[in-house]
Amino acid sequence: MKNEGLTLRMGKRELSRFFLTVLIFCVLLLIYVKYKNIHECLGPAAPFVDIKTVHKYNINCSAIYHMDSVEVHKSVTIRQKHIVEDNDENLIYLTLNCSLFRKVRGYDDVCVSDEEKDFPIAYSLVVHKYPWMVERLIRVTYSPSNIYCIHYDLKSSLRFIAAMEGLSQCLPNVFITSKREDVIYDGFSRLKADLNCLSDLLQSEVKWKYVINLCGQDFPLRPNIELVSELKNLNGSNMLETCRPPQFKKNRYGFHYEVRDAEFEYKKTPVQTSKKKAPPPHNIEMFTGSTYFVLSRDFVVFMNASVVVRDFLAWSEDTYSPDEHFWATIVRLPGVPGEVPRSHPDITDLMSKTRLVKWSYLEESLYPPCTGLHVRDVCIFGAAEIHWLLSYGHWFANRFDTNVDPIAVQCLEEKLEERKNIFQSIAARHSL
């Protein structure tokens, strides 16, 4: 493998500048202190700043946030010409030394309020690529009291898997799900991946209050302390999209589907057969929504024990994209903890705060245009959108890609850190 791991990798000019700085520093030290201190300036602290993690761009995020045109223009130039791809192997190497990893990435310094300690949140992360993004997602939502289940796809690269194993070795509250799926887009296995994590999370000693599922291209719009306060306000109810199915979606469970090789893009996909499907068991009324949820612990415990849910799950196995009707339907079952009553009006993706997604066909009418890039109908956010994202009121957003706009992610991280500090100082003042 062509990688120097933790050793320095610098150009000649940088190297000489580095040594010059070190030299000046040492000379100054020598003047003020005795010889015995020399080793301190060349000791373990020196490589620390040079450990390769994610590339940090020289940009003023405060100006980006306030949509300063000069700074936004600068960010566009960077993303068009100077994207530095983060190296997966650096993460693998860094997690070989856990104490170093935690120190460099700040996990040991995360400070949490009492409210956060008393309100653990569980995460189900269904991921398959971009290991650094997974690490950043964990880091930005991190509290030592939270718990993270990672489901990586059986098709993931060995490098990706090694990085995920590394994260789980170094962070005691991060684990890999006990059962992993070969995830087929729009197939039952996508739903199964989350169910595997939920089942492991229920077994965990951490008595989490809510569980949130995320994918590798999501990013939060609220720091942990604010999420805790928002989740408390739910008073035990669940939050997710759940709507009466439009006619075209009824076919998704009106016929049997079979997984077949797809012609384009995805290797396999469920394909509609001519065989009509029986209606769902137990007279269940169907609703549709999203893969993504915010569920209370009581709801998940109920789900785990319910025969109705078990039968419905089995029935869903040969439907199209069951993740998009499974959660939306069972949250409307009469009597479930945190139930959304069947008579309750539709809860759309813009009402439920779980996930903010910009669809190209709704831009201009529902929200400002995408400043990043469209991939099919979805906007990959650009840096100029972070003000809008943070002001909208949602808790998470999709989609981010550091190969499209790394500044958007970097500046979100910075703003979330700021918000966290503000909220924590308010919380500290209240508890005095």
Q: Please list the active-site residues.
A: 324
Is residue 66 close enough to count as binding ligand NAG by CB under 6 A?
yes
Provide the b/e sequence for 70-96 (b: ≥16 CB within 10 Å). Answer: ebbebbbebbeeebeebbbbbbbbbbe
Nearer to ligand NAG, 63 or 243 (CB): 63
Q: Is 229 in the site for ligand NAG (CB under 6 A)?
A: no
Q: How far is the CB of 170 from ligand NAG (least distance, A)?
A: 11
Of the candidates 58, 69, 80, 235, which one interacts with ligand NAG according to CB under 6 A? Answer: 235
- Binding residue for ligand NAG (CB under 6 A) from 58, 69, 80, 99? 99
Looking at 16, 37, 62, 178, which residue binds ligand NAG (CB under 6 A)? 62
**152 or 210: CB nearest ligand NAG:** 210
Q: Which is nearer to ligand NAG, 17 or 66 (CB)?
A: 66
Cβ distance 91 to 52 under 8 Å?
A: no
Choose one: 49-57, 58-66, 272-280, 377-385; the region binding ligand NAG (CB under 6 A). 58-66
What's the closest the beta carbon of residue 97 comes to ligand NAG, in angstroms?
4
Q: Can you tell me which of 29, 41, 110, 234 binds ligand NAG, judged by CB under 6 A?
A: 234
The correct pick among 3, 53, 97, 157 for binding ligand NAG (CB under 6 A) is 97
Minimum separation from the CB atom of position 268 to ligand NAG (A): 30
The contact pattern for ligand NAG, residues 298-327, with x = CB under 6 A and - = no contact, is ---x--xx----------------------
Query: Which span (96-104, 132-140, 218-226, 366-374) binds ligand NAG, by CB under 6 A?
Result: 96-104
Block residue for tokens 């035990």 = 236
Candidate residues 29, 41, 46, 63; the one interacting with ligand NAG per rule CB under 6 A: 63
11 binds ligand NAG (CB under 6 A): no
Report if residue 60 touches ligand NAG, rule: CB under 6 A.
yes
Q: Which stretch binds ligand NAG (CB under 6 A): 75-83, 99-107, 190-198, 246-254?
A: 99-107
Helix (H) or strand (E) holding 229: helix 224-233
Cβ of residue 211: shortest distance to ligand NAG, in angstroms? 12
SS3 for the chain is CCCCCCCCCCCHHHHHHHHHHHHHHHHHHHHHCCHHHHHHHHCCHHHHCCCCCCCCCCCCHHHHHCCCHHHHHHHHHHHHHCCCCCCHHHHHHHCCCHHHHHHHCCHHHCCCCHHHHCCCEEEEEEECCCHHHHHHHHHHHCCCCCEEEEEECCCCCHHHHHHHHHHHHHCCCEEECCCCCCCCCCCHHHHHHHHHHHHHHHHCCCCCCEEEEEECCEEECCCHHHHHHHHHHCCCCCEEEEECCCHHHHHHHHEEEEEEECCCCCCEEEEEEEEECCCCHHHCCCCEEEEEEEEEHHHHHHHHHCHHHHHHHHHHCCCCCCHHHHHHHHCCCCCCCCCCCCCCCCECCCCCCCCECCEHHHECCCECCCCCEEECCEEECCHHHHHHHHHHCCCEEECCCCCCCHHHHHHHHHHHHHHHHHHHHHHHHHCC
Looking at residues 30 to 49 of the shown chain, list those that interact with ligand NAG (rule: CB under 6 A). Answer: 44
202 binds ligand NAG (CB under 6 A): yes
Name the segment binding ligand NAG (CB under 6 A); options: 19-27, 93-101, 111-119, 244-252: 93-101
> Closest separation between CB of residue 68 and ligand NAG, Å?
5
In the complex, the smallest distance separating the C-beta of residue 62 from ligand NAG, rounded to whole angstroms, is 4
User: What does the binding site for ligand NAG look like in residue numbers (CB under 6 A)?
Assistant: 44, 60, 62-63, 66, 68, 97, 99-100, 103, 202, 233-235, 237, 301, 304-305
